[in-house]
Amino acid sequence: MQGLGRRVAVTGLGVVAPCGLGRDEFWEGLLGPGLTGGNSTTIADWDPTPYFSNPKEARRADRVEQFALAAAAEALEQSGELPADRSRVGTIFATGVGGIHTLETQIQTRIEKGERRVSPFLVPMMMANAPGAAISMRYGLTGPNETICTACAAGTHSIGYAARLIAWGRCDTVVTGGSEAAATITAMAGFGNMTALSTSGTSRPFDRERDGFVMGEGAAVLVLEEWEHAVERGATILGEILGAASNADAHHITAPAPGGVGAIACMRLALDDAGLAPGDIRQVNAHGTSTPLNDAAEADAMREVFGAHGVPVTSTKGVTGHALGAAGALEAAAVLMSIEHRQIPPTAGTTDVDDELGIDLVTGAARDWEPGPSISNNFGFGGHNGSVIIGPPA
């Protein structure tokens, strides 16, 4: 983040996703086949009990909070020692809808059994800030504890804001990322009836036959740290947050602005924040939801900023599905793993790239690359745009 005085290192990463629990399984999953045969992908046989002191405590946490705590445990274990002054450690977290599983279940309980049977834990389990609050309380983090809820851009926004708190000198360490578990019956019906979900049950970003997204879930947590502090304590630095940006389309509640004008401006703001030119970017981790309008608008934006076929592009949603408010965190994790393994994961599920989009989409198999600055984009209902630029440790 040029001009703000303090560099921001990534020293910890934790992931919980349908394609793999833990960062290593997650990476292997990103190299695997695409999603087929359903309009959602969820974590099968999820067992939250290893992340709680007892089964009762686990039952009093919604699935979205369970995912967040599991990912945070892995990230903080990798990062290592936290600063002694926990007031300098923040928790900036993201979700799109929060504890909707609990809310939907308890509404059904009220209808069938009456108001007196509604759980007294409904409110703390359903509230959107519960995942971030749970992380803060478990580890005694008394710095800023805020939840960002900007639909599908929330994960990217949380990472960008967390990095700024360090760059500005307000925090020395921030635990950030996002979590989502929104594949409930009612939510799926709503997305389906608005024709956002794939009718074929296949996620195929930027494919000529793309027809909607597959709902995903999961969480990713990054530990961000002031660079010199990380170096002094001998931490392993996974990458660097070079820049970030946020803006609004101010166009439509669900549709992107024509031509991707908001996305264009957002990426350029992030480049300016990082002190980089478009030619410095070596990878784009696209929002790439597999919906006709969004993929077309994003491709327009990438061509405008980077030129036709100007930079390798991937979308990991062909494997992960679309995890809404956690998408940006999962995709930042994918970029960091891409840097570590020196490969760009393929856009799974995509077999017939829409030539009209004019992008260099990585498909079929992972592509070897020399890691360099990478931009991860996310765009959410409400016209929210977010971009974050992540570089290799150097």
Note if 152 is an active site residue.
Answer: yes
Residue of 157, 171, 266, 322 marked catalytic: 322
Contact 286, 302 (CB under 8 A): yes
Per the annotation, the verdict on 322 as an active-site residue is yes
Give 111: exposed, middle or buried? Use CB within 10 Å, 0-12, 13-18, 19+.
exposed
* SS3 per-residue string spanning 267-297: HHHHHHHHCCCHHHCCEEECCCCCCHHHHHH
Distance CA 67, CA 176 (A): 13
CA dihedral 328, 334, 340, 342 (to 10 degrees): -120
Is 76:138 a contact under the CB 8 Å cutoff? no
Burial class from Cβ neighbours inside 10 Å (0-12, 13-18, 19+) for residue 367 reads middle
Given the residues 19, 152, 171, 266, select the one marked as catalytic.
152
Distance CA 156, CA 222 (A): 11
Which residues are catalytic, by number?
152, 287, 322
